[in-house]
Amino acid sequence: MAVKKTTVKKTKDGKVDKRTKEGKEIAARMAKARAEKNSLKNRIKRLFK
């Protein structure tokens, strides 16, 4: 089996400051909402179903 080379790159957005102040606030609110609904924990639980 061929070994795949890992090639993580900075996204083109990662090379510039892509978020406006408003965009950053929205991103933070959405991150908080995900955390409050245990988004990551729930997806991890489904791995072990």
Partner 1 sequence: MNTDIKHIAALVATSIWADGEYDAAEKIVVEEIADAFELNAEDLSAAVEQELEVIKPMSEDEVNAYILEHSAEVEDEEAEMLLQAVLQVVIVDGVLGEEEVENVLSIASALGVDDARAVLMLADLVKEEPELQIEL
To 10 degrees, the CA torsion angle through 31, 36, 40, 46? -150
Closest distance to partner 1 from the beta carbon of 31 (Å)? 4
State yes or no: residue 15 binds partner 1 (CB under 8 A): yes
Give me the least distance between CB of 33 and partner 1, in Å please: 9
Q: How far is the CB of 34 from partner 1 (least distance, A)?
A: 7
- CA gap 39, 41 in Å, rounded: 6
* Sequence-distant (≥ 6) Cβ neighbours of residue 49 within 8 angstroms: none
Which chain residues interact with partner 1 by CB under 8 A? 4-19, 23-24, 26-28, 30-32, 34-35, 39-44, 46-47
